[in-house]
Amino acid sequence: RPQNYSIMQDIPWQHRPLIKRRHRKVVRERRVPPLGEVIEPLDEEGVRAAARELRDSGVQSIAICLLFSYIDPGHEDRARELVLEEYPDAFVTTSSSVAPQFREFERFTQAAMNAFIVNSRRQGCRPICTSWDHTAAWQPRAWFRKSL
């Protein structure tokens, strides 16, 4: 109990993060509650640069998680569009589409899990899906979604 709030305590899951630190990118944007007013607009060039870095490092699936996107998902949606322009082969998910709730740890974790699971399912299904009729496009939907 004495280490409850210590940053020096050993927490088991810190050794197995969902997303490695080198693959976490930060872009500038700022909304504030309760209405989600934009204090600082989304840094679109920063999003593009982060997408290029992730593409060049071999990342196949991207989770976009912005702090107050549960209020207004506009910045996350725009960031998703920009990432897909730079890296069309990536699977991109947003935290507001998976779990639009105000607890960022839970929302970010669910978005990361969604990115991992859907991309894994998509990669595993690719040989089957390509053998189907060519008009049937492989469009994964939310395989992992929180019930609201």
Q: Are the C-beta atoms of 110 and 95 separated by less than 8 Å?
A: yes
* pLDDT at residue number 20: 87
* pLDDT at residue number 137: 41
Q: How confident is the model at residue 5 (pLDDT cuts 50, 70, 90)?
A: low
The helix (run of H) or strand (run of E) holding residue 42 is none
Q: What tokens were used for 19?
A: 């997303």
Q: What tokens were used for 5?
A: 């709030």
Cα–Cα distance measured from residue 144 to residue 117, given in angstroms and rounded to the nearest whole number: 8
40 compared with 121, residue with greater pLDDT: 40
End-to-end Cα, the chain, rounded Å: 34
Residues 75-116: pLDDT tens digits? 999 999 999 999 999 999 999 999 988 888 889 999 999 998
| pTM greater than 0.85 | no
Q: Is the bond into 12 cis (omega within 30 degrees of 0)?
A: no
* pLDDT at residue number 125: 58
How would you classify the pairing of strands 37-40 and 61-64? unpaired
Does residue 147 register a pLDDT over 50?
Answer: no
b/e 11-40 (16+ beta carbons within 10 angstroms → b): eeeeeeeebeeeeeeebebebeeeeeeeee
Residues 128-144: pLDDT tens digits? 454 444 444 444 444 44
Place of tokens 């970010």: 108
145 compared with 44, residue with greater pLDDT: 44
User: Looking at the DSSP assignment, which residues form a beta bridge with residue 32?
Assistant: 37
Cα–Cα distance measured from residue 65 to residue 6, given in angstroms and rounded to the nearest whole number: 26
The helix (run of H) or strand (run of E) holding residue 55 is helix 44-56
Does residue 28 register a pLDDT over 70?
Answer: yes
Residues 30-76: pLDDT tens digits? 888 888 889 999 999 999 999 999 999 999 999 999 999 989 999 99
